[in-house]
């Protein structure tokens, strides 16, 4: 990635790289052989040599007798976004590695005041740098980090670097058993997974109903409606109307906002193809080389579904093959029909330069995209000055994900920040297994459930970045997470492709939505997607009819059994550590119990949402209420099931596709036993409610406690 001091550091290794051995990817990765500054394996970054010292630790070791210790001083960097940290690196010759996936791993630990960072770089012959990193904050034990880094095939790599870096100004960072290989290492083979049954864990929860943190707009409870495949089943062409099951479930779900017409399909959509009588609409391609169909869910149908569900509509405008005039005419068409669309998003994922095929054709450089934002916004506001316009930001996934346009967001904000009202991101997909690393299902699920911690941090970072880049618009540009949800893999060969339908994925859905609520600047969130006959969607097919998936129940808990005013709450209880899996970084101290609380607009009702991420054990929480005297009885609405991999029995189509056998969560193995009774949303009355009372949250569950004021 360019734009970092690492590019200068990398270029300093060019002469040495030519002699690096191609026989072994890394040498002395266990740091058992001491070395000096100019060793032929690990070398000090001279540009940061005054920022710390290195030594060999015999106490912070994973295996063997020695580990690398990096000790920073006050001159060291506190943010690798801004400058280089004290570091050592090893050069790897790139012969034959272009386009290959490399498996990188290491055991990391850090003292308070430091962060241990393991980073792999690919330096192209054209000077471009791409990288990926794994980060370990302060903790009490060595933690395994492992991930997969794909070397770009677009530019021949001149060489590779694997760097051990310390971020911070005190303490120390420790590294051991750093490894890099082509092909899955034997140590990555799947383990059985260890259940943890036993008595209820204990936690304490405090809620202050008198401390309102923010208003929760209905737009946080949005969803995605694509035009393709009859709105992913929402429209029944034989009957010429909406599918009754999808319509009824959408009304039950009560989304505050529907995003239309895509996804990526928005980049090829021309709105005039989807208006007028359906019988006269033309056949169009969903994307270059894609299927040909009639747009049966056009603008009018999308507006109708939104209206019947009590929702508003967000329209994603085609800025790739469309024009400002076409977009302005779309605004005019909607307004002429007497139905207002407030939110207009300009484009989908035009920064996705790693994509191939049709998706790769939507790529725009940030300067070209920013100018389009300015031009489209001006033309559309000339028709309706009151509309809200959003640009897309490349803040998706981990901040260290390789990017060809490393400063996409900064360039767009600097050039077009005064033209927008919101910034759209897709930062809340997890765990995203681009390659099967051999993890067992319990480990994959644990990483997925840790991801909301990282997602909240990314949203807060983006809020600060907006404020620092466009100070005049600080507090005026909101964040819109226009796609989010559980996502594992898209390939039929994956052991996890159909896992977004499970109870654990629903727990992730609830935890992620709770995290987004805690980001003050996040005012829009749209789950991906409403209905789907395959592995995504809140609603799926069971025996030919649409039924809820587990995540629909999680969303419903927030739309039906949660208040409009977020109030202060804290939860203190047991936590766990999670390794790096897919797009999720390794994390320490992830709480098993998430809690968010809210009040009704008039303050008469208090809602306490408890999310138990533990697969095997309930959590008994002592809940203390401040500034709220509850009636002695209340209600509990609980989403739970027979196991983390339990599901409602939806199935994948098309029937001719060969889908891989899906992983299961030991020892329950409920994935293949899906049915309406495997996952349920149930209501029960609770008694003995006082200003301080106990409640037990079941394993793998989401519960809304609804309390009325006495």
Assess whether pLDDT exceeds 50 at residue 11: no
Model pLDDT, residue 80: 73
* pLDDT at 17 exceeding the cut of 70: no
Q: Which has more pLDDT, 105 or 540?
A: 540
- For the cut 70, the answer to whether the pLDDT of residue 177 exceeds it is yes
The pLDDT of 122-147, averaged and rounded, is 82
The pLDDT of 493-512, averaged and rounded, is 97
Q: What is the pLDDT of residue 532?
A: 94
Share above pLDDT 70 across residues of the chain, in percent, rounded to a whole number: 92
Nearest to 625 by CA among 684, 695, 701: 695
How far is residue 570's CA from residue 576's CA, in Å, rounded to a whole number?
18
Report pLDDT for 16. Answer: 33
97 close to 182: Cβ distance less than 8 angstroms: yes
Q: What is the pLDDT of residues 440-456, one digit of tens each?
A: 999 999 999 999 999 99
- C-beta separation of 511 from 449 below 8 A: yes
pLDDT at 185: 75
| Residue 344 pLDDT > 50 | yes
Alpha carbon distances (Å) from 59 to 64, 109, 118, 586: 11, 11, 20, 22
Query: pLDDT tens across 219-251, in order?
Result: 999 999 999 999 999 999 999 999 999 999 999
CA dist 547 and 304 (Å) reads: 21
Q: How confident is the model at residue 29 (pLDDT cuts 50, 70, 90)?
A: very high
- CA distances to 115, 502, 575, 648, 682 from 541, rounded to whole Å, are 46, 14, 36, 10, 22
Position 5 confidence tier, pLDDT thresholds 50, 70, 90 = very low
Distances (CA, A) of 273 to 284, 301, 370: 8, 13, 27
DSSP state of 354: T
- pLDDT band with cut points at 50, 70 and 90 for residue 2: very low
Select the highest-mean-pLDDT range: 138-147, 271-280, 653-662: 271-280
Which backbone phi and psi does 6 adopt, to 5 degrees? -55, -30
Judged against a pLDDT cut of 90, whether residue 672 lies above it is answered with yes
Does the pLDDT at position 12 exceed 60? Answer: no
Q: Which residue has the tokens 């302060």?
A: 138
**Whether 299 contacts 271, CB under 8 Å:** yes
The per-residue pLDDT for 409 is 94
Residue 189: the pLDDT is 65
CB 427 within 8 A of CB 382: no
pLDDT digits (tens, 9 = 90+) for 302-318: 999 999 999 999 999 99
Confidence band for 121, pLDDT divided at 50, 70 and 90: confident
The model's pTM: 0.86
- In this predicted structure, what is the pLDDT of residue 190? 67
Q: Does the pLDDT at position 186 exceed 80?
A: no
**What would the pLDDT profile of 549-580 be if each residue is shown by its tens digit?**
999 999 999 999 999 999 999 999 999 998 88
Q: What is the dihedral of CA 288, 294, 260, 410, to 10 degrees?
A: 20
pLDDT confidence of residue 6? 32
pLDDT at 99 over 90: no
Residue 21: what pLDDT? Answer: 29
Least confident residue range of 40-49, 415-424, 467-476, 691-700: 40-49
Q: Which residue has the tokens 């399909």?
A: 265
Residue 79's pLDDT band (cuts 50, 70, 90): confident
Point out which residues pair with 161 in neighbouring strands.
91, 121
Tokens 């997607």 label which residue? 529
Q: How wide is the angle at C-alpha 296 spanned by C-alphas 290 and 299, nearest 5°? A: 105
Q: pLDDT value at position 192? A: 65
Q: What secondary structure letter does DSSP report for 47?
A: G
β-bridge partners, 612: 593, 701
pLDDT at 4 > cutoff 50: no
In this prediction, residue 150 has a pLDDT band, given cuts at 50, 70 and 90, of confident
Identify the residue with better confidence: 22 or 256: 256
């Amino acid at each position: 990635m360019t734009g970092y001091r690492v590019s200068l550091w990398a270029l300093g290794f060019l002469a040495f790289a030519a002699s690096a051995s191609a026989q072994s990817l890394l040498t002395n990765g266990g740091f058992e052989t001491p070395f000096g500054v100019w060793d032929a394996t690990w070398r000090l970054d001279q540009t940061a040599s005054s920022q710390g010292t290195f030594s060999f630790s015999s106490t912070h070791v994973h295996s063997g007798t020695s580990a690398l210790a990096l000790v920073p001083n006050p001159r060291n960097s506190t943010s690798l976004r801004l400058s280089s940290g004290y570091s050592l690196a090893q050069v790897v010759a790139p012969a034959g590695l272009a386009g290959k996936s490399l498996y990188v791993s290491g055991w990391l630990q850090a003292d308070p005041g430091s962060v241990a960072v393991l980073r792999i770089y690919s330096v192209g012959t054209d000077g471009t740098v791409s990288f990926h990193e794994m980060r370990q904050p302060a903790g009490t034990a060595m933690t395994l980090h492992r991930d997969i880094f794909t070397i770009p095939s677009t530019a021949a790599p001149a060489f590779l670097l694997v760097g051990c870096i310390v971020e911070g100004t005190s303490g120390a960072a420790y590294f051991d058993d750093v490894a890099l290989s082509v092909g899955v290492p034997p140590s990555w083979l799947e383990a059985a997974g260890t259940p943890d049954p036993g008595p209820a864990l204990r936690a304490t929860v405090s809620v202050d109903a008198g401390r309102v943190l923010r208003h929760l707009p209905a737009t946080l409870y949005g969803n995605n409606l694509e035009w393709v495949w009859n709105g992913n089943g929402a429209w029944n062409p034989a009957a010429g109307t909406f599918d009754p099951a999808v319509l009824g479930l959408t009304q039950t779900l009560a989304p505050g906002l529907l995003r239309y017409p895509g996804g990526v399909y928005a980049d090829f959509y021309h709105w005039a193809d989807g208006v007028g009588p359906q019988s006269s609409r033309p056949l169009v391609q969903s994307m270059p080389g894609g299927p040909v169909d009639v747009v049966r869910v056009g603008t009018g149908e999308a507006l109708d579904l939104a209206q019947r569900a009590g929702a508003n509509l967000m329209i994603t405008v085609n800025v790739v093959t469309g024009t400002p005039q076409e977009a302005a005419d779309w605004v005019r068409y909607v307004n002429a029909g007497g139905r207002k669309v407030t939110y207009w998003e300009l484009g989908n994922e035009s920064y996705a330069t790693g994509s191939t095929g049709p998706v790769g054709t939507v790529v725009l450089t940030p300067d070209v995209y920013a100018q389009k934002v300015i031009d489209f916004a001006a033309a559309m506001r000339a028709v309706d000055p009151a509309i809200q316009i959003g640009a897309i930001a490349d803040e998706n996934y981990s901040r260290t994900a390789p990017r060809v346009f490393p400063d996409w967001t900064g360039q767009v904000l600097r050039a077009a920040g005064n033209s927008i009202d919101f910034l759209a991101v897709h930062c809340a997909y997890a765990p995203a297994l681009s390659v099967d690393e051999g993890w067992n299902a319990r480990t994959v699920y644990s990483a997925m459930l840790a991801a909301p911690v990282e997602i909240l941090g990314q949203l807060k970072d983006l809020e600060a970045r907006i404020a620092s880049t466009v100070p005049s618009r600080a507090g005026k540009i909101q964040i819109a997470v226009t796609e989010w949800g559980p996502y594992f893999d898209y390939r039929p060969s994956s052991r996890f492709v159909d896992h977004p339908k499970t109870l654990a994925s629903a727990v992730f859905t609830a935890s992620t939505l709770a995290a987004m609520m805690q980001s003050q600047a996040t005012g829009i969130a749209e789950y991906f997607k409403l209905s789907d006959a395959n592995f995504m969607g809140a609603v799926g097919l069971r025996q030919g009819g649409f039924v809820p998936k587990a995540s629909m129940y999680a969303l419903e808990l927030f739309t039906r059994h949660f208040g409009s005013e977020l109030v202060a709450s804290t939860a203190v209880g047991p936590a766990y550590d999670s390794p790096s899996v897919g797009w999720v970084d390794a994390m320490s101290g992830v709480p098993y119990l998430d809690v968010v609380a809210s009040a009704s607009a008039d303050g008469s009702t208090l809602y306490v949402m408890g999310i138990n991420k533990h697969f095997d054990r309930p959590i008994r929480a002592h809940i203390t209420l401040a500034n709220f005297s509850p009636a002695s009885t209340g209600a509990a609405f609980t989403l739970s099931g027979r196991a983390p991999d339990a599901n409602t029995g939806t199935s994948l189509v098309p029937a001719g596709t060969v889908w891989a056998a899906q992983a299961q969560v030991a020892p329950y193995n409920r994935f293949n036993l899906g049915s309406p009774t495997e996952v349920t949303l149930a209501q029960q009355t609770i008694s003995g409610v006082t200003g301080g009372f106990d409640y037990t949250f079941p394993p793998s569950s989401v519960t809304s406690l609804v309390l009325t004021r006495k």
